[in-house]
Structure 1
């Protein structure tokens, strides 16, 4: 994965303290804020302008579908193309689409068809941008700094998507909804220009397109399934994503009914979770160096399970805040280390395909978790769903522990 030790350019550009990584992190931060504003403003505008729950649901589906339909071929194409060029095109495309949305909203012509089209196109471009960014992250950080690099990316994403973006959307939407999307477009424009400042020396190896796109997608899937380390990480991610999605779906209803929280208090729970993730993004690298990455990954799952269980077993507002902080902390630790291990086990020439497969597997099971949570809660209770999910996450940690411990000896990509 690394170049020869004598390469002076390599030593100059690699690492989280290097200028290339800092510039890449700046573009990631900008697009995270843009995604946070869009994630808050687009469904809100859909609800306000249509007053139709089916329309809101349709727009939400339009944002998710590209990750199931386009992510895999996007990853294969990213492995063929130059990452910097791909990011310039993806961010520029998202800026143009968002600017068109600004015009439609400002003129009152943003009907459901426009909102659906924009949601689909923005997420489609994001599948390319995400894979290309992950490839550059590995190359810019170098193998030794992957935990620190992913910690900084998780922290920036948490601030942008879960805190700064929604807060900015709330303020701008009350003034004029079109300003939300104008800010999003500006952030994408900045990212498209700033990525050009990342030096071309950190571009990863390309495959050259020897196979068809479908052949390369198949090659990536076979590699993931054939690698015990990647199979363990991706499989665990899929199961945990399904269970946490079920908890997230039912937790708001649980907070209102079982805990008696006022609707205005519910967002504070999400802030606590974001705070936990931010703390994890800063301390996980040090914990990994001290105790070993696999040990911390197993502990992260147990911490996540403990946070879920506390939500139901201790029905108090203070305990709910603490449980969300603990859940965010556990999820943050897991996200940092699972990403670092996935990247470490993947050859540079296949980073796009493996990243896309990882996203499909993790995010593809989230709708299933959300879909089964409601009927199960109806048959039992929201609290029962939360406790069962906590027990299953803990069981996953125990069952997968031997596989995760094998990551230390797994062959590197």
Structure 2
């Protein structure tokens, strides 16, 4: 990893991401608080997270094929405008009528569909403008920007706005989607891979991506690790708002600041995550990311005291943010560019597809055994993930994978004037890395 300055194109991307994530933070806190005003059922609230992630199971595979065929800028624009319309619709309903819990389920599903398109389109762009040896640092700075604007600024703002008017935070988030779409639409050039070839069919393309991923031992193992970890995180976070209210006795007004304090761990992980990976190595960093939440989840379940829970989740957030940076960077460093959309979608199909099951499991466990039960279940799942890292992600396997595959030589060229050595480049793709509900469903 190098300490050379990141390209100017990257900082344009970073700035756009910071702006758009402000809207995410406003939305996430407002949705959580609105749900608790409608119902106190852990299962009903947990279903919001379930519906938000079901689209990854339904649409991730065909979307990956589409991403490898079309102009990725257009995908970002359409996805953001569509999500803006959906959130704006909820703002109108909240302003004039009573919001029902089923409306939040439908909204979560619709936003999830948009997220499948947007995330896959956005993650294909970064390797084209950032040198390979700087990807971990670049992804870390993105994570820091997301936490700063989303958690420290957006969430407290969302809590204040919903206290003033129920519709207001959703209106703000809808506007941020529109701004994000305009930023993407203003880019010049075509962002379709120029070396893509006519396909024999979507099914064949999906099979090709699946064969590539399953045939790559390292990424196959990493996909399994992240799948288990996300299953565990979704189990606890689906009902975290109820845990905070009933176990920690946190008021609605204090919930946003609580998440902001916890976000300090993610912020630190984003800022220094690249250096941590460089200092301790990829294997040790990933193993720590999996092991740390085993202990923190168990501790939270045993002693749910506010200051202690904040400390535990902050430590956990730091470790898992480093793991997330490493997971994304490895995919970007290893997967050939012309296959990235398909392989990344299949990878996310496994990892994110586990979240609806985790959210449902968390709701069921909390209903049957109390709000601490999901944390014990999460600890057991995370222990399994740690064992997978210890046995499958060896230093030899990592070294071989990074040597054998190089997206730098296989990355499709874009019809733009991107020059990663020119720090003043203007004609570069911008990724606005928005992830609605990420703070409800955080994980690598």
TM range (shorter): 0.7 to 0.9
Count matched residues.
396
Report the equivalent of 2:398: 407
Q: Following TM superposition, by how much is the alpha carbon of 1:199 offset from its aligned partner in structure 2, in angstroms?
A: 5.7
Q: Which moved more, 1:36-45 or 1:292-301?
A: 36-45
Within a 5 Å distance, the mapping from 1:3-152 to structure 2 comes to 17-42=6-31, 44-45=33-34, 48=37, 60-108=49-97, 117-152=106-141
Unaligned 5+ segments in structure 2 are: 408-444
Bigger proportion of residues as helix: 1
Does the 8 A contact of 1:233 with 1:342 survive in 2? no
What root-mean-square deviation, in Å, do the aligned CA atoms of Structure 1 and Structure 2 show? 3.3
Alpha-carbon displacement from aligned partner over 1:242-286 (angstroms, at most 9, x marks no partner): 2223343576666677xx632336666533432111111111111
CA change 1:56–1:375 in 2 (3 A) is closer
Q: State whether structure 2 residue 354 is matched by structure 1 residue 365.
A: yes
Does the 8 A contact of 1:269 with 1:324 survive in 2? no
CA change 1:128–1:254 in 2 (3 A) is closer
C-alpha distance in 2 between matches for 1:20 and 1:153:
13
Q: State whether structure 2 residue 174 is matched by structure 1 residue 212.
A: no
C-alpha distance in 1 between matches for 2:383 and 2:16:
36
Within a 5 Å distance, the mapping from 1:322-337 to structure 2 comes to 322-337=311-326
Q: TM-score with structure 2 length normalisation?
A: 0.77
Report the equivalent of 2:442: none
Q: Following TM superposition, by how much is the alpha carbon of 1:111 offset from its aligned partner in structure 2, in angstroms?
A: 6.6
Q: Following TM superposition, by how much is the alpha carbon of 1:394 offset from its aligned partner in structure 2, in angstroms?
A: 3.8
Unaligned 5+ segments in structure 1 are: 1-14
C-alpha distance in 2 between matches for 1:373 and 1:367:
10
Q: TM-score with structure 1 length normalisation?
A: 0.82
Q: State whether structure 2 residue 262 is matched by structure 1 residue 262.
A: no
Q: Following TM superposition, by how much is the alpha carbon of 1:383 offset from its aligned partner in structure 2, in angstroms?
A: 5.5
Q: Which moved more, 1:137-146 or 1:383-392?
A: 383-392
Q: Which moved more, 1:118-127 or 1:37-46?
A: 37-46
C-alpha distance in 2 between matches for 1:377 and 1:106:
32
Q: Which moved more, 1:160-169 or 1:101-110?
A: 101-110
Report the equivalent of 1:157: 146
Report the equivalent of 2:212: 223
Counterpart of 2:292 (choices 292, 297, 303) is 303
Report the equivalent of 1:396: 385
Q: Following TM superposition, by how much is the alpha carbon of 1:207 offset from its aligned partner in structure 2, in angstroms?
A: 2.6
